[in-house]
Structure 1
Amino acid sequence: MTRARPARHEGIRKAQRRGALLLGSALLGLLAGTPAMAAQPVPGGQAPTLAQSGETYGFSIAAQPLASALRAFSEQSGIQVAYGTEDLAGLSGPAVSGRLDAAEALRRLLAGSGVTWRFTDPHTVVLARAASDAAVTLGPVVVEGSGETADGPVAGYVARRSATGTKTDTPLIETPQSVSVVGSEQIRRQQSQTIGEALRFTPGILASQGFNRTDDGLYMRGFQINDSSLYVNGLRSLSNIYDGTTDPYQLERIEVLHGPASVLYGQSSPGGVVNMVTKLPTIDPLHEIEAQLGNDDRKQVATDHGGALDEAGQFSYRLTALVRDSGTMVDYIDDDKAFVAPAFTWRPDEDTALTLLATYSQSSTDYYYGFPAEGTVVDNPNGRIARNRFLGEPDFNKWERSSYSAGYRFEHRFDERFELRQNLRYAEFENNYNDIYFGSWLADERSVTRGAYSRNDQSSLFALDTQLQAELTTGPLEHTALLGIDYNRTTFQRVQYNGTVAPLDLYDPVYGASVTLASAPGTDSYQQGDQVGLYAQDQIALGSWRLLLGGRQDWANDRTDNHVTGSSAETDQSAFTGRVGLVYLFDFGLAPYVSYAESFEPQSGTDAGGGAFDPTTGQQVEAGLKFQPKGADSSVTLSFYHLTRQNVLTSDPDNAGFSVQTGEIRSRGVELEAKLALAEGLNLLAGYAYTDAEVTESNSGDLGTRPENTPEHMASLWADYAFQDGPLQGLRLGGGVRYVGDTVDLSATTTVPAYTVADAMVSYETGPWRLGINATNLFDKEYIAACTYGCFYGEGRTVIGSVALRW
Structure 2
Amino acid sequence: MKYSPLFLAISMATPLAHADSKSIEVIEVTGSYFNDYKVDEAKGAMRTDVSLLETAQSVTVIPSTIVEEQLATTLGEVLTNDASLSAGSKQRNREVFNLRGFELSSSNGYLRDGHQHWSHYQQPIETLESVEVIKGPSSILYGQSGPGGLVNMVTKKPTARTLLNIGADTDQEGSTRFTLDAGGALNDEESLRYRANLVKQDVTYQREYQNGDQRERDRFLGALVVDYDVSDDLSLRVHYDYTNDKAGLDTGGWLNEDGDLIGDRKTIRDMSWAFTDIDVENYGADINYSINDNWQVAIGYNKQTFERERFESAAKKPANFNEGDEYTSKPYDRFDDWQFTTKFIDFTGEFDFAGVNHQLLIGANSLDYYYGQLKVKASSVTYSTGQSEPVKPDIDYRDDDTLYTSEYDYYGVYLQDLVTFNDNWQVSFGGRYDKQNKENADSESFSPKFGVLYHPSEQATIYYSYTEGFEPQRSETLNNDTDINHGMKLDAMESKQSEIGVKWQLVDDRLLLSGAIFDISKKGKLISEDIDHPEFETRTTQAGKQRHKGFELGAQGAINDKLFIMSSLINIDAEYEQDENYQGKTPRDVPEWSAALWSRYEFTEKLAFNAGAFYEGARFADSANTIEKDSYTRIDVGATYQMDISNHELNLRFNINNLLDKKYLIGGGTSSVTAADGISFRVAAQLAF
The 3 A distance-change label for structure 1 pair 483 and 512 is same
The 3 A distance-change label for structure 1 pair 453 and 522 is farther
SS of aligned partner of 2:76: helix
Q: Deviations for 1:290-345, whole angstroms, at most 9, x for unmatched residues?
A: 01111222111101111111111110000011001121122242121110100111
1:600 to 443, 456, 470: 470
C-alpha distance in 2, partners of 1:606/1:102? 58
Q: Deviations for 1:495-550, whole angstroms, at most 9, x for unmatched residues?
A: 122334433334x4632445476998598410112011111100111212221111
Q: What is the deviation of 1:262?
A: 0.5
Work out whether residues 258 and 627 of structure 2, in 8 Å CA contact, stay in contact via their aligned partners in 1: no
Q: What is the deviation of 1:670?
A: 0.7
SS of aligned partner of 1:173: helix
Q: Aligned residue for 2:427?
A: 547
1:193 to 68, 73, 93: 73
Q: Aligned residue for 2:304?
A: 427
1:718 to 577, 585, 598: 598
Whether 1:744 and 2:659 are equivalent positions in the alignment is: no
C-alpha distance in 2, partners of 1:734/1:196? 19
The 3 A distance-change label for structure 1 pair 198 and 102 is closer
Whether 1:61 and 2:3 are equivalent positions in the alignment is: no
2:607 to 731, 738, 743: 731
Corresponding letter in the other structure for 1:642: D
Corresponding letter in the other structure for 2:360: A
Work out whether residues 501 and 516 of structure 1, in 8 Å CA contact, stay in contact via their aligned partners in 2: no
SS of aligned partner of 2:126: helix
SS of aligned partner of 1:196: helix
The 3 A distance-change label for structure 1 pair 464 and 444 is closer
Q: Aligned residue for 1:35?
A: none
Corresponding letter in the other structure for 1:160: D
Whether 1:484 and 2:430 are equivalent positions in the alignment is: no
The 3 A distance-change label for structure 1 pair 68 and 293 is closer
C-alpha distance in 1, partners of 2:657/2:575? 32
1:287 to 141, 154, 164: 164
SS of aligned partner of 1:585: strand
Corresponding letter in the other structure for 1:530: D
Q: Aligned residue for 1:391?
A: 269
Work out whether residues 432 and 456 of structure 1, in 8 Å CA contact, stay in contact via their aligned partners in 2: yes
Whether 1:511 and 2:389 are equivalent positions in the alignment is: yes
Q: Aligned residue for 1:264?
A: 141
Corresponding letter in the other structure for 1:462: T
Whether 1:697 and 2:574 are equivalent positions in the alignment is: no
Work out whether residues 257 and 627 of structure 2, in 8 Å CA contact, stay in contact via their aligned partners in 1: no
SS of aligned partner of 1:62: helix
Q: Aligned residue for 1:456?
A: 335
Q: What is the deviation of 1:67?
A: 13
The 3 A distance-change label for structure 1 pair 529 and 731 is same
Whether 1:361 and 2:307 are equivalent positions in the alignment is: no
Whether 1:663 and 2:544 are equivalent positions in the alignment is: yes
The 3 A distance-change label for structure 1 pair 434 and 342 is same
Give the TM-score normalised by structure 1. 0.76
Whether 1:531 and 2:407 are equivalent positions in the alignment is: no
The 3 A distance-change label for structure 1 pair 616 and 397 is same
The 3 A distance-change label for structure 1 pair 177 and 523 is farther
C-alpha distance in 2, partners of 1:714/1:435? 34
C-alpha distance in 1, partners of 2:554/2:175? 33
Provide the alpha-carbon RMSD of the alignment: 3.1
Q: Deviations for 1:333-376, whole angstroms, at most 9, x for unmatched residues?
A: 21211101001110022221110010011011133212321288
Q: What is the deviation of 1:465?
A: 0.9
C-alpha distance in 2, partners of 1:212/1:658? 18
The 3 A distance-change label for structure 1 pair 587 and 335 is same
C-alpha distance in 1, partners of 2:668/2:29? 52
SS of aligned partner of 1:192: coil
Work out whether residues 84 and 594 of structure 2, in 8 Å CA contact, stay in contact via their aligned partners in 1: yes
1:643 to 510, 514, 520: 520
Whether 1:792 and 2:662 are equivalent positions in the alignment is: no
The 3 A distance-change label for structure 1 pair 235 and 679 is same
The 3 A distance-change label for structure 1 pair 659 and 204 is closer
Q: List structure 1 segments (4+ residues) > 3 angstroms apart after TM superposition.
A: 57-60, 63-69, 80-83, 101-105, 441-445, 512-524, 610-614, 647-651, 657-662
Whether 1:219 and 2:95 are equivalent positions in the alignment is: no
Q: What is the deviation of 1:81?
A: 8.5
SS of aligned partner of 1:197: helix
Q: Aligned residue for 2:556?
A: 675
Q: What is the deviation of 1:769?
A: 1.3
SS of aligned partner of 2:506: coil
Q: Which has the higher contact order (CA 8 A, sep 6+)?
A: 2
SS of aligned partner of 2:53: helix
SS of aligned partner of 2:141: helix
Q: Deviations for 1:212-254, whole angstroms, at most 9, x for unmatched residues?
A: 672232101121001211111100111xx53x32122110110
Q: What is the deviation of 1:459?
A: 1.2
Whether 1:343 and 2:193 are equivalent positions in the alignment is: no
Corresponding letter in the other structure for 1:537: Q
Q: Aligned residue for 1:52?
A: none
Q: Which has the larger radius of gyration?
A: 1
SS of aligned partner of 2:312: strand
Identical counterparts, % of pairs = 24
Whether 1:326 and 2:203 are equivalent positions in the alignment is: yes
Structure 1: runs of 5 or more not aligned: 1-43, 46-56, 84-92, 94-100, 109-153, 560-569, 652-656
SS of aligned partner of 1:164: helix
What aligned pairs does 1:234-249 form with structure 2 within 5 A after superposition?
A: 234-238=114-118, 241-242=119-120, 244-249=121-126
The 3 A distance-change label for structure 1 pair 517 and 789 is farther
1:311 to 167, 173, 188: 188
Q: What is the deviation of 1:648?
A: 3.9
Q: Aligned residue for 1:4?
A: none
Q: Aligned residue for 1:495?
A: 374
Give the TM-score normalised by structure 2. 0.88
Work out whether residues 590 and 629 of structure 1, in 8 Å CA contact, stay in contact via their aligned partners in 2: no
Q: What is the deviation of 1:587?
A: 2.3
Q: What is the deviation of 1:788?
A: 2.2
C-alpha distance in 2, partners of 1:478/1:65? 37
Q: What is the deviation of 1:61?
A: 2.5
SS of aligned partner of 1:61: helix
Work out whether residues 533 and 555 of structure 1, in 8 Å CA contact, stay in contact via their aligned partners in 2: yes
Q: What is the deviation of 1:571?
A: 1.1
Corresponding letter in the other structure for 2:93: T
C-alpha distance in 2, partners of 1:67/1:215? 26
Whether 1:440 and 2:323 are equivalent positions in the alignment is: no
Whether 1:232 and 2:112 are equivalent positions in the alignment is: yes
Structure 2: runs of 5 or more not aligned: 209-213, 479-484, 529-537
Corresponding letter in the other structure for 1:61: F
Work out whether residues 256 and 670 of structure 2, in 8 Å CA contact, stay in contact via their aligned partners in 1: no
Q: Aligned residue for 1:401?
A: 278
The 3 A distance-change label for structure 1 pair 418 and 404 is same
C-alpha distance in 2, partners of 1:186/1:443? 42
Corresponding letter in the other structure for 2:411: V
Work out whether residues 12 and 165 of structure 2, in 8 Å CA contact, stay in contact via their aligned partners in 1: no
Q: What is the deviation of 1:434?
A: 0.9
Work out whether residues 410 and 423 of structure 1, in 8 Å CA contact, stay in contact via their aligned partners in 2: yes
Work out whether residues 519 and 549 of structure 2, in 8 Å CA contact, stay in contact via their aligned partners in 1: yes
Q: What is the deviation of 1:446?
A: 2.1
